[in-house]
């Protein structure tokens, strides 16, 4: 199983029945096709759609029906369309239960950097800054290291921040971390990964949850996901 598939399969477990969910641009949009049929949710896109469905079958795309990442999507029965002002009123008014966003860097304090790399051309800020302050829960998904095998989980973010102390949960291809008043806590280790590997590839300081500490004498066997 490749790293993205690992992340997506774990991240979809965060979506619960009855939620209004915003999926960020990039990898988070892939969750739309992974939500089990028995889970009824409304996916919201800040460009003005509540009720996003799966990606369309090739040949049936509607060029006027797109998500915030300019990808063609479908709409579920009962889906609604509205302007950006209405969409951001939903977000800023606290009506989004969960936002699952991509990340470039996350700090041990729960800071998030995901909107720009200095010197790189970007189309705009997007809606991430509103989402991290308006959604009730923020889950960030990203690969644990960059292409140079450097940790993307930092003591302090080096890229421009999207928000400070806004991340509730971070899911990577190696592990799952929660951010609490006690700091950053390692909650889960992905299948096939050892605790030593997580420690080695994480720049940030973190504590280890009790159920993982019980397995520290057998680090070659990764604990099962919970």
Report d(CA 96, CA 87) in Å as an integer: 10
**Which residues belong to the active site?**
46
Structure letter (DSSP) for residue 93? T
Helical ranges in 101-201 per DSSP H: 128-134, 195-200
Q: Exposed, middle or buried: residue 219 (CB in 10 Å: 0-12, 13-18, 19+)?
A: middle
Cβ contact 174:198 at 8 Å: yes
Q: Exposed, middle or buried: residue 185 (CB in 10 Å: 0-12, 13-18, 19+)?
A: middle
Question: H/E element holding 170?
Answer: strand 169-171
Coil vs helix vs strand at 195 = helix
Report d(CA 222, CA 218) in Å as an integer: 8
């Amino acid at each position: 199983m490749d790293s993205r598939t690992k992340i997506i399969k774990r991240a979809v477990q965060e979506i619960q029945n009855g939620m209004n969910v915003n999926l960020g641009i990039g990898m988070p949009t892939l969750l739309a096709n992974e939500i089990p049929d028995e889970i009824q949710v409304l996916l919201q896109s800040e460009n003005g759609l509540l009720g996003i469905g799966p990606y369309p079958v090739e040949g049936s795309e509607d060029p006027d029906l797109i998500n915030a990442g300019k990808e063609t999507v479908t709409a579920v029965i009962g889906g609604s369309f509205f302007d950006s002002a209405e969409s951001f009123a939903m977000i800023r008014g606290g009506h989004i239960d969960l936002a699952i966003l991509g990340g470039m860097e996350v700090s041990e304090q729960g800071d998030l950097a995901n909107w720009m790399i200095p010197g790189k051309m970007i189309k705009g800020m997007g809606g991430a800054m509103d989402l991290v302050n308006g959604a009730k829960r923020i889950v960030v998904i990203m690969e644990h290291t960059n292409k140079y095998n450097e940790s993307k989980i930092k003591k302090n973010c080096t890229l421009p921040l999207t928000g400070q102390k806004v991340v509730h949960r971070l899911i990577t291809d190696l592990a799952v971390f929660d951010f609490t008043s006690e700091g950053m806590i390692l909650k889960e280790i992905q299948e096939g990964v050892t605790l030593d590997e997580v420690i080695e590839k994480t720049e940030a300081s973190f504590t280890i949850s009790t159920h993982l500490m019980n397995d520290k004498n057998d680090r070659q066997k990764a604990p099962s996901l919970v």
